[in-house]
């Protein structure tokens, strides 16, 4: 959105808006908010998503239940649904990249040391 006040120059709202081309980097460890931002990046067609398929865990947890062995149990408490209120928005679904890239640091290191 662009805002303007009387006798002032137009300004972007929010002020932190980044104008121009964008690329989202994604890997198999992206989850929760990382999954949500990649999903919405694709949904709003902001640019290509590059990397590997995300983990897909988006259901939020709050509060824990203690276990006798000293551990604890996290329980799912909240999620998101679509604007029409008809289905869950994204939860349990992974985000697929537009451009798949395998980035194995050990392979990268081996390739560089052998060349």
| Mean pLDDT (whole number) for 3-25 | 82
Confidence of residue 1 (pLDDT cuts 50, 70, 90): low
Query: Is pLDDT of 47 > 90?
Result: yes
pTM over 0.85: no
Average pLDDT for the chain:
83
For residue 36, which of 24, 22, 23, 47 has the smallest C-alpha distance? 24
| Mean pLDDT (whole number) for 21-32 | 89
65 or 76, higher pLDDT: 65
């Amino acid at each position: 959105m662009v805002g303007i006040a009387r006798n002032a120059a137009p300004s972007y709202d929010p002020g932190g808006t980044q104008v121009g081309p964008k690329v989202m980097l994604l890997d198999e460890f992206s989850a929760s908010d990382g999954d949500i931002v990649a999903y919405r990046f694709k949904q709003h067609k902001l640019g290509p998503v590059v990397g590997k398929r995300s983990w897909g865990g988006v259901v939020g947890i709050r509060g824990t239940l203690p276990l006798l062995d000293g551990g604890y149990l996290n329980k799912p408490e909240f999620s998101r649904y679509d604007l029409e209120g008809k289905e869950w928005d994204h939860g349990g679904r992974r985000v697929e990249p537009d451009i798949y890239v395998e980035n194995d640091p050990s392979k990268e290191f081996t390739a560089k040391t052998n060349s």
